[in-house]
Structure 1
């Protein structure tokens, strides 16, 4: 059985012209092999002065329109994305020895989309979106616990917790994907997709 694709890469790279389809195939593999949060990713943002920061977030949706995650819009990453709407993602799955890097531009999701996802969350998580002034300094832990208690009293009906206007999702529209597979003696396999001005994906091999 041939274990290589047409580019001479491992068969896990498949032979697809659409990187979203390959991304989906690798994500499906990760869901089977990763013990926790296969949708976890490192998200890199930058201020308008080009000072970078990175953190772990969870991917909640992906399709041909982009990759979606949610956050407090007034958090550090939210403010940075408002200042500089360019970002990069990195998925790393130790169980598969694979990695995917994605870069592109971000836009805020529509309110109806944010509402739908917010309402699918557990009660405690919805309250947390109100109670936490994400990334802001706390005087002490009790300050947060008291805020949670106050919002639970305000929204004591678990079925009627509105989405805060400062909490929503960001959609990253990809300009490039890079798929990486660990190789013996650090001779890794790397396949990059870059979108051209006509919206077509161009494939290229990269040195390890």
Structure 2
């Protein structure tokens, strides 16, 4: 039987959020400018992996999955990350064409959440990012059958060794046909700033028929 006292401290764990506030008049004109601003502030604050975001997807039966990925592109079109197109996350995205991603900047008592439809990025955009990756990461993308069951670690190590031999004489490692980028095209982007007494600031950009509006949400 599990130790009944193992989680005894969880109910008592609390942090008083007192680092800042968020006012409508201080927001950037667009969601992507505001997100870029907060990303820059997270970098300067020394937040670990400031471009890390928790990506949530769901399958056709509505069963959710979440995992941490790295944002690798941001502009007025949306937010981009790269992955294996045969992975579980890509299967979900192909089926539903919808995703949510949250940046948890805990050190700043902030988070930002982007929700919207998804699309694959162009082959040219994928190639440009691929060419910026370390060679080891490129080889790993070729070697890993992402999300599939493998018997043990040696299967992965053997696959990587085979790929290293395959491209040993290649100056450039090509983009795998099963690998590329996804872009989340936001329908809503929420910026959350922790406040005292759990009266947090939540400001949300929402896309409607007449363009973007900003609303304050109750915490």
The CA deviation string for residues 145-202 of structure 1, in whole angstroms up to 9 with x for no partner, is 010000000001363211101000000000001111000011101101101123x111
Please give the alpha-carbon distance, in whole angstroms, between the structure 2 residues aligned to 1:57 and 1:203.
Answer: 27
TM-score (norm 1): 0.92
Which of the residues 23, 41, 46 maps onto 1:29?
Answer: 41
Q: When the two structures are aligned, how many residues end up with a matched partner?
A: 199
Say if 2:213 is the partner of 1:202. Answer: yes
- Greater than 3 Å deviation, 4+ residue runs: 9-13
Structure 1 residue 128, shift from structure 2 partner: 0.5
Please give the alpha-carbon distance, in whole angstroms, between the structure 1 residues aligned to 2:203 and 2:86.
Answer: 36
Residue 6 of structure 1: aligned partner: none
Which of the residues 96, 107, 112 maps onto 1:100?
Answer: 112
Residue 188 of structure 1: aligned partner: 200
| Coordinate RMSD, CA, aligned | 1.4
Distance 1:177 1:13, change over 3 A: farther
Task: Give secondary structure in 2 for the equivalent of 1:129.
Answer: helix
**Could you tell me whether the CA contact under 8 Å between 1:34 and 1:93 is conserved in 2?**
no
The CA deviation string for residues 6-59 of structure 1, in whole angstroms up to 9 with x for no partner, is xxx636972333111111110100011134210000000011111110000000
**Could you tell me whether the CA contact under 8 Å between 1:123 and 1:158 is conserved in 2?**
no
Distance 1:207 1:128, change over 3 A: same
* 1:65-104 pair list within 5 angstroms: 65-104=77-116
**Could you tell me whether the CA contact under 8 Å between 1:14 and 1:22 is conserved in 2?**
no
The CA deviation string for residues 89-130 of structure 1, in whole angstroms up to 9 with x for no partner, is 111111111111110000001111111111111111000011
Task: Give secondary structure in 2 for the equivalent of 1:71.
Answer: strand
* 1:1-208 pair list within 5 angstroms: 10=22, 14-157=26-169, 159-198=171-210, 200-208=211-219
Structure 2: runs of 5+ lacking an equivalent:
1-20
**Could you tell me whether the CA contact under 8 Å between 1:43 and 1:87 is conserved in 2?**
yes
Higher relative contact order (CA 8 A, sep 6+): 2
Structure 1 residue 140, shift from structure 2 partner: 1.0
